[in-house]
Chains A and B, each alone.
Chain A
Amino acid sequence: MLALFLFLTIYAWPAVRFNGLHFLYQDTWNLGRLYSDPISVGGQQVLPDADYGILFLIVGTLLSSLMAMALALPVGIGTALFLAEGAPRRLRGTLSFFVELLAGVPSVVFGLWGYVVLIPLLSRHVYPMMARFLGFIPFFGGPTGSGYGLLTAALVLALMIVPLIAATLRDAIVATPIALREAGFSVGATSIEVFWKVVLPSLRRVLIGSSMLALGRALGETMAVLMVSGNALNYLPDNAYSPISTMSSFIVSQLDSALQDPTSMAVRALAEIALILLVISAGVNMLARVLLRYAGGR
């Protein structure tokens, strides 16, 4: 882990020096003039006009992950409740297994599904409808674009992280002390009231912890996002259907062109993105682990 951080920092250091702080708040990814001679800026060899800023990546990453969380949480909680208490007793094991299977599917296959099934469906039917009926909400107006974009990426991400939330939460619900539930029922609460007011609050930390883990996964997810996000360049999303890029998918999609840069500053700038992504996702993960640990035992 330390080696990971160290090597990335060392390798990215020239880029960190060259880019400075505006790396974080500018919307430019410009390799410079590829066929000119490199010039020296502040002791670093770079191409003329080279300029790097990744605000659009940070925004794309955070927005898509947070939207995915917003979609996945209610579905995850509902699914967990159904799997733990709602489903016919005999089917519970099988159905849970079915849901957990989803967690094992390779992410590139999710991308394939998004590309082949979701995008045509969304762009032809769902998004135009949404823009018409939800258009009064600021972020949901048209134009609806091609189907690639923020909301599509969020949907695919949500589908990928729901099983994580649902499985953890289901186990926790099953492990809730019977006495707690009996106490709820004994004051006359309905089964939903017991779940909503007694069981779920007692699992608050598990819920937060597992959502954070899911968020960490969403932040770092690469292939599925790469295939459905539209891979926007230097462009901030202006509605829910805009194309975006995330940090991880950008690293993949830009390697080929970054390798064209003879000063290798572009590749180092990609390393700087990887470094920032590492710090963000490791931070989220650490927080989640700490929360889960204090939740006790799990």
Chain B
Amino acid sequence: MKPRSSADATHHALARIRRRRVFNVLGWTISVLAFVLLALAIADLLYLVMHKGASSLSLDLFTQVTNGIGGGLANAITGTGLLAGGALLLAAPLGIGTGIYLSEFGRGRWGHAVRFWADVLVGVPSIVLGYFGYITMVIAFGWNFSLAAGAITLAIMMVPYIARTTDLALRQVPFGVREAAYALGAQDWRVSLRVVLPAGAPAVLTGILLALAIGMGETAPLLYTAGWSNYLWNGNLTHEPVGYLTYVIWTFINEPFASAHRLAFAAALLITALVLLINVLARLLLTGFSRRLGAR
């Protein structure tokens, strides 16, 4: 009786081990499959943009303005630069200032509240911000579709983002650095601006670059605030709509003409390449930064 049951038990145990091994392999297979699926989609997306975009590139793209469904993208390229650049000019000082405040002095309840609401604001859909810009600047202030309205709307998106990345970056700066500065008799503001900020600069810059990338890739809020223009920017901050690259992608791909499609793909290539380049640059900066901190 006894030997049989023991053989039985061994048999059962072996079966269970086999079953668990199968499950182990199965689990890893699913994991690999998930990654492969995702990687295939990324690769296909990048391939599409690179392949179709590259075949649509030409010199005219950079020198001519959009003309109906053809022409170039000079207006859109400069417009994207102006909108994102202008937004950054507005958002960077404000964002960095808020970030410094949060990391250096925002330990209390008020700091927590600001941090929390900044996080929530980062998550607000961009179209809602666009609508906000529309009813305030475009309608109430009477600026119409304009560079100012577009840039300020993008800036509203960027400020909380920059503030939070700055906050996180500066909190990584070791406390000893601050203590050393205070020991030398430096004031609060001097410690923050001259010592802590330069120490955390690469990571702060990373946040700014990523905010810039986000601003460049936006479409929805700009439809409501910047409008669209076939012409180069004429220097007016208000009352004149501006063109931008993402608009071209959305509108022209829906047109039934090959020349419009070419423009859409070219715009997609330009904006994707630019945004990804900024992302890569930001990432490199950050790795360099953490290595520097680690070396200390």
Contact = CB atoms under 8 A, between A and B. Distances in A.
Interface of A: 1, 4, 7-8, 11, 74-79, 81-83, 86-87, 95, 97-99, 101-102, 104-113, 115-117, 159, 162-163, 166, 190-193, 195-196, 213, 216-217, 219-223, 226-227, 248, 251-252, 255, 270-271, 274, 277-278, 281-282, 284-286, 288-289
B interface: dominant SS: helix
B250 A223 contact: yes
A109 B249 contact: yes
Given A78-B33, A109-B271, A289-B116, A104 B276 contact: yes
28 contacts: A1-B117, A1-B124, A4-B128, A75-B34, A79-B31, A81-B31, A82-B34, A86-B32, A95-B39, A106-B219, A106-B275, A108-B246, A111-B250, A112-B264, A112-B268, A116-B253, A117-B45, A117-B48, A190-B21, A220-B127, A223-B219, A248-B125, A252-B127, A252-B224, A282-B123, A284-B123, A285-B120, A289-B119
B24 interface: yes
B123 A281 contact: yes
* Residue among B20, B28, B35, B271 with max Cβ neighbours from chain A (10 Å): B35
Given A78-B34, A190-B20, A97 B217 contact: no
Contacts of B32: 78, 82, 86
B113 to A, nearest CB: 11
A220 B125 contact: yes
Contacts of A79: 31, 34-35, 38
B123 A106 contact: no
Contacts of B42: 98-99, 101-102
Nearest to B120: A285
B135 A8 contact: yes
A48 B290 CA distance: 64
Interface residues of B, number: 62
B27 A196 contact: yes
A220 B34 contact: no
Nearest to A81: B31
B37 interface: yes
A252 B220 CA distance: 7
B249 A108 contact: yes
B166 interface: no
Contacts of A216: 123
Interface of B: 20-21, 23-24, 26-28, 30-35, 37-39, 41-42, 44-45, 48-49, 52, 116-117, 119-121, 123-129, 131-132, 135-136, 210, 213, 216-220, 223-224, 246, 249-250, 253, 264-265, 268, 271-272, 275-276, 279-280, 283
Given A220-B124, A226-B250, A106 B28 contact: no
B34 A110 contact: no
A272 B24 CA distance: 51
Contact of A222 (B41, B45, B135, B219): B219
B35 A82 contact: yes
Contact of A104 (B127, B213, B246): B213
B41 A159 contact: yes
